[in-house]
Structure 1
Amino acid sequence: MKLREKYFRWVGIPVFALFLTLVIKRGEDAPLWERFLTATLITGFFWNGAFMIFIYFRKKFPFIRQTPRRILITIVALSIFLIVGDTAICLILGKKTLAQLSDPAVFFKYTDINFLASFFIGSIYENVYFFEQWKNTIRLNEALKNQQIRTQFEVLQNQMSPHFLFNSLNTLTTLIAEDQEIASEFTQKLSEVYRYILANKEKELVQLKDELEFAQAYVYLLRMRYPENLTASFSVDEQYQRKHIAPLTIQMLVENAIKHNVISKAYPLHIEVYVENGRSIVVKNNLQSKKVIEKSTKTGLANIKKRYEYFGKKNIDIITTANNYLVAVPLISLVNEQDQPLVAEL
């Protein structure tokens, strides 16, 4: 901005001086080049002086709420500068004598021109400055807003690992009581699964391919507890596996199905994971709700909704029918791994 202003000022001075020379003559018979040179010197003096006044009072009153006071004081200071400066220039250039300047008609001969020129140039400076301040205010507000959203998102991310561990330890406690050998195998698989969480919990997005592999490993752990009563199918075409999803989304939805539904020989639970219309990943289970829901940290589905609000999308579709429960989560498309997330339009 400073560089642009410098060029604007030093190009504007001769251009404006030329305008004054050609348009405003007021009976002067001096050659054109002499009048242009004089106009350039006077314009340069007043423009640079006015510029220093503007900059001084901008630093003195930098905030937008101080704009009326800054403008008022600037006008007073500029008026004094124009009157005193015009008198000084006239004496230095020999255009007038002290005796002539004692006549008000002579003293104020060019005051109207000086004020009009200063008003025109000053309006440009003030409008540009106000616009820059306004842009900076919006930029700051957006930065603060984004930081607030980022902080909220990080809180949601930090919920995931304790949430997963809490529920896994509950499962492990049950297995230890039922079969210590399976519990030992579960512990080994759990360590492998948890490595995925540690590697991805700080990420906003992961590839659907990686999330599916993790979800399948998680289902494997669940099947240790429900070997005959739980089945799961993953049907996702390879063309969609490079799309992205918030980490642990599928795992949380699978966990939600386990938590809220009866699983027994009489009522086996089947979970399906598939892509709908190329835009959403769907987790579907047959509906056989428990009368009494097991103790929950209540961070699963709510966490997913809030994380997707961070990406500007709230359309996490939840559909309940007489026989099934479905949750559809938008897939996110990235041009490359460094790009910002763009949620696929539904």
Structure 2
Amino acid sequence: MKWKWLSEKVIRWVGIPVLGLIMTFIVKAGNHANKSLLENFVVSTVFTAVLWNGAAMIIFSLRRKYPDIQQTAKRLIITSLVVTIFLIIAPNIIRLVLGIHTWAEIAQLKTIFSHSEINMVAAFMVSSIYEGTYFFGKWKESFALNEQLKNQQIRTQFEVLQNQMSPHFLFNSLNTLTTLIAEDQKSAIDFTQTLSEVYRYILQNKEKELVRLKEELEFSKSYVFLLQMRYPENLNVDFFIKPEHEKLFIAPLTLQMLIENAIKHNIVSKTAPLHIEIYVDKGEVIVVKNNLQLKNTLEKSTKTGLANIKKRYQFLGNREIDVIESQKNYMVAVPLIEMLTEIEFSKELAYEGIDH
């Protein structure tokens, strides 16, 4: 990159003598007009170097402690307070070390705050540049991450819609519907309505990053209803979810993809029925578990379903998807995400004593 060499350290150490030179003329016109230009330049450069480097260390330390963009206000308040205290104490220590003032002179209130207004203005300018650059960098990072997530969602939408709209799926659905119309018209109507609900959910949530678990479960049960029309005695899906867990969030269509994967890769027959259990473990993850009875030949698959889910959850805060396979069972554990509503967030801010 063209300007990669222009790092913060280069700017700082080039800027110190430049700012020191500017301060030389300000001081020369003020209280130290009796000193030579060179003496004023040396003293001003020492002050600038100590104060700039000290302020930078404070800024970087607090940046490491409060790195998130959501912590910007807190970081700015604490940084301003600590830098202000530093700019009051440090100049007086420098004056003592350089012999500019004695302890007796330092003890005077006038001397303690000497040139403090100049130091504050310089510190404000430098801090603004540091924080502005950092905030802009974080914003770019957040924007890039959001674009990655959008691209991943588009790929997920395509894969799910492709699987649902495939000729194989439509053939099975229409074949099941035809049989139901001849045998049980009420069931045929239920099947058609449920099929409509499945597509409506996909269309309504295809652009969302997260949905409530309650909504995802309702959709999954509708999807399972369609599957059980195809496998009436061969497929058993049991949901064990407590009401308090339904308010948590999950990436949309996650359960559907895991259920579909279980059916795609395992035998589903009267002699070997497939059992799928969906439950919440320790209030933190939702587990999709099925008995393992792999097919000898698999249906044509993109083999990206589980990998797709893993990538989406990495984008949602580096959350890991656990896959556990034994001789008898196959389990996938997906993290559940807790999000505050606007009302809950306001209550938490009030509890912390933050004026918003």
| TM-score, with structure 2 as normaliser | 0.63
When Rg is computed on C-alpha atoms for both structures, the one with the higher figure is: 1
> Does residue 1:316 correspond to 2:321, yes or no?
yes
Instruction: Give the secondary-structure state (helix, strand or coil) at the position aligned to 1:215.
Output: helix
1:141 maps to which residue?
137
How far the C-alpha of 1:234 sits from its partner, in A, is 0.8
2: CA distance, partners of 1:155 / 1:114: 55
How far the C-alpha of 1:289 sits from its partner, in A, is 0.6
Structure 1 vs Structure 2 CA RMSD:
3.4
1:164 maps to which residue?
160
Instruction: Give the secondary-structure state (helix, strand or coil) at the position aligned to 1:298.
Output: coil
2: CA distance, partners of 1:182 / 1:167: 23
On the 8 A contact 2:286/2:334 being kept in 1, the answer is yes
2: CA distance, partners of 1:205 / 1:71: 49
Q: List aligned pairs for 1:59-78, cutoff 5 A.
A: 64=8, 65-76=10-21, 78=23
How far the C-alpha of 1:257 sits from its partner, in A, is 0.5
On the 8 A contact 1:172/1:187 being kept in 2, the answer is no
On the 8 A contact 1:82/1:114 being kept in 2, the answer is no
Q: List aligned pairs for 1:77-92, cutoff 5 A.
A: 78-79=23-24, 85=29
How far the C-alpha of 1:335 sits from its partner, in A, is 3.1
| TM-score, with structure 1 as normaliser | 0.64
> Does residue 1:255 correspond to 2:260, yes or no?
yes
- 1:67/1:122 CA distance change after superposition, 3 Å: closer
1:274 is aligned, of 274, 279, 288, to: 279
Stretch of structure 1 that moved more, 233-242 or 137-146: 137-146
How far the C-alpha of 1:176 sits from its partner, in A, is 3.6
2: CA distance, partners of 1:73 / 1:230: 77
- 1:150/1:339 CA distance change after superposition, 3 Å: farther
- 1:210/1:82 CA distance change after superposition, 3 Å: closer
Q: List aligned pairs for 1:197-212, cutoff 5 A.
A: 197-212=202-217
1:195 is aligned, of 181, 200, 222, to: 200
1: CA distance, partners of 2:202 / 2:50: 58
On the 8 A contact 1:256/1:300 being kept in 2, the answer is yes
How far the C-alpha of 1:120 sits from its partner, in A, is 3.6
1: CA distance, partners of 2:342 / 2:221: 24
On the 8 A contact 1:82/1:111 being kept in 2, the answer is no
> Does residue 1:154 correspond to 2:150, yes or no?
yes
Identity of matched residues, %: 41
Give unpaired runs (5+ residues) of structure 1. 1-61, 91-106, 341-346
2:305 is aligned, of 300, 303, 309, to: 300
- 1:288/1:125 CA distance change after superposition, 3 Å: closer
1:174 maps to which residue?
172
Stretch of structure 1 that moved more, 194-203 or 266-275: 194-203
On the 8 A contact 2:321/2:334 being kept in 1, the answer is yes
1:95 maps to which residue?
none
On the 8 A contact 1:182/1:224 being kept in 2, the answer is no
Amino acid at match of 2:169: T
Give unpaired runs (5+ residues) of structure 2. 1-5, 56-122, 182-187, 346-356
2: CA distance, partners of 1:125 / 1:115: 15
Amino acid at match of 2:171: T
2:82 maps to which residue?
none
Stretch of structure 1 that moved more, 111-120 or 321-330: 111-120
1: CA distance, partners of 2:148 / 2:41: 56
